[in-house]
Amino acid sequence: MAMGAHHQDKDEIPLPEDLLEGGDAANFDVFISKLVTRKGEEITPPRGGVTVIVGGNNAGKSTFLRDVWTKLSRPSNSVYRSRLIDKVDIAREGEQADFFCWCNEHSVWSGVKSRAGFVAGDTYARVTVNNIKQFCKQSKTVGNLAGIASLLVQRGDLNNRLQVVEPVDQRDELHEPPTHPLHRLQDDPELLKTVQSLSERVFRQKLTLERIGRKTQLRVGETIIAAPAVDAITPEYVKSLADLDPLDKQGDGMKSFLGLLLPLVTASCRIMLIDEPEAFLHPPQAKIAGTVIGELAADRGIQILIATHDRNFLVGLLEAQAPVAVVRLDRNEDGTTVHQLDHQLVRELWDEPVLRYSSVLDGLFHRAVVLAESDGDCRFYAASLDAASGLDFSPGDIQFTPVGGKDGFSRVLKALRSVSVPTVVVADLDLLNNEGKTKFFVEMLGGDWIHFADDYKKATQQFRVPKTSKTRSQVLELVKRVLEQDSEKRYDKDTEAIIQAAIRAERSPWQDLKDYGIRAFKGGVAVSASGRLLSGLEDLGAVLVREGELERLAPDVQSRKGPDWIVEALQRQSYLNSLAQQHIALVISAIKRQW
């Protein structure tokens, strides 16, 4: 028997069979093809996938979902004025008969004369035959689902989710259509098994559906006595059932998430809007919850729009292999701007192990991101920012993300800037060692190499010469430069190693950039050109270490490289010195240029 069919009383109107003739439910679908914001920005949610709306507090994530729902459900001439979404384009596949067949399979026909129609989800609303016919008369690209939205769209806000898990009255008659997800679990053992399996997966808790008594409810755990036949209920079974805690008495995390899954599993909507699905969940649970929702979206071909601020949930979604697009909201003095990271680019980003296991996704939830080559670099820069004075923002607003070397900057920068996350790159000065790579770097940042080429050539002319043997006067000058960097510092093995490296007979001229920083530029023309070059890069969002390399910002640290260096630098609080603070001030300025 199809879901839409049930016993008909003499006072009820049956579903006209001719409406189903020639139809095929598999041919019907409805999905959002495009969203247009009030500023004209366009968003294309993936079909049969998830669109994740992210942004800082008060950026407008809940408003975004509310606007989408209103645009979907209200007539086009509604007086409601949305704050973010100006237009929703909806695509329909299939003909009228296909839609009626879909309704007959995925919802319940209620033939009560006064309001005959299909029961819409867990509400008492009815979608009438005329509602469906009017919808199908429109073109296959429409602007709203007025009159039928309750059949095709589910809303999963927090209050609704908490209410769904509360006990519900039994139906007065066995043949009455289900009006609540718990009624559907009564009618379909496979749906009940699905919900029970998901509960064990996310919370490691079994569920039992209470079918006796005046109300239907879910209880946590299993009875120690097997459920008897409905006409042979025993006192022992009743006691065993009563010993199980009701679901609505559990923690808000379990109630909230199962309250989300119940309508998603038991009702066949085509579009679902969910606000903060990770609410009250611990990080591991939020991750599993994301995977579950991603799997349901992909398996059932449902289009889901989710507002979240939880990285763990987003990671879970990506692990489900469902198409996932990211929409970032950024609120400023000019209002809220909306930017989309296409699901294909999200997948490319996620498929790179170096990036997957980094904190790059955290950047979507921060006010700005600073990209550095390694984790140690990020730790030192973050400590420098924490120690900076006179900040008019919280250091916690800035995310520091390692990209695994200079070659990792490009993809992460492209991804973050495509959703308008202010992003600054910090690198050692030897990034200038190769003209081709420097040109690529400038263009990656959105600059035009024409405006940099002349200064680059003038600044680096002295280094673009073949290796040569040094004269004694050159050796003397090199030793003098090393010793003058910190003339009061004790002469030790590290100082000796630096001098030996500096006076090595065959040495690349470019090495001077790392060893001496901007002091390596000699002559008025080179000094002026290098200043313009570095300032131009900072305007684009790239701050090069003017001392040459990160380690030069902490000259008091004995260790020269690697994990030992960052440990000692943090222990000595080297991030407080003037060199480190001057450098982080340049980073802050580069960030603010993008705000």
**What pLDDT shows up at residue 535?**
97
**What pLDDT shows up at residue 2?**
46
Cα 3 from Cα 150, distance rounded (Å)? 17
Cα 507 from Cα 478, distance rounded (Å)? 12
**pLDDT tens readout for residues 235-275:** 999 999 999 999 999 999 899 889 888 888 876 789 999 99
Percent of residues, the chain, with pLDDT higher than 90: 52
pTM score, whole prediction: 0.76
Q: Report yes or no: 273 and 156 within 8 Å, Cβ to Cβ.
A: yes
**What pLDDT shows up at residue 181?**
86
- Domains of the chain and any CATH numbers: 1-28+94-141 (no CATH), 31-92+268-351 (3.40.50.300), 163-248 (no CATH), 426-593 (no CATH)
3-state secondary structure of 57: coil
Q: Report yes or no: 87 and 143 within 8 Å, Cβ to Cβ.
A: yes
Which of 370-384, 441-455, 471-485, 542-556 is predicted least confidently?
A: 471-485
**What pLDDT shows up at residue 209?**
95
**Which of the two residues, 31 and 337, has the higher pLDDT score?**
31
Q: Report how many helices (DSSP H) and strands (DSSP E) the chain contains, helices first.
A: 23, 21
**pLDDT tens readout for residues 182-228:** 988 998 999 999 999 999 998 999 999 998 888 999 999 999 988 88
Res. 124 pLDDT band, cuts 50 70 90: low
- In order of 27, 78, 148, 357, 380, the CA distances from 139 in angstroms are 16, 20, 15, 46, 59
Secondary structure E strands in 230-350: 245-246, 271-275, 303-307, 324-332, 335-341
DSSP strand pairing (168-169 vs 215-220): antiparallel
Q: Report yes or no: 556 and 357 within 8 Å, Cβ to Cβ.
A: no
**What pLDDT shows up at residue 121?**
56
Cα 12 from Cα 499, distance rounded (Å)? 97
**pLDDT tens readout for residues 20-47:** 999 999 999 999 999 999 999 999 999 9
Mean pLDDT in residue range 553-566 = 88
The yes-or-no verdict on residue 506 having pLDDT over 60 is: no
**pLDDT tens readout for residues 344-365:** 888 887 887 766 776 777 888 8
What one-character DSSP code corresponds to residue 231?
T
3-state secondary structure of 29: strand
Cα 255 from Cα 251, distance rounded (Å)? 6
How many C-beta atoms lie closer than 10 Å to residue 503's C-beta?
16
- In order of 65, 168, 242, 290, the CA distances from 237 in angstroms are 45, 21, 8, 36
Length of the chain (residues): 595
Res. 75 pLDDT band, cuts 50 70 90: confident
Mean pLDDT in residue range 544-561 = 91
The yes-or-no verdict on residue 68 having pLDDT over 60 is: yes
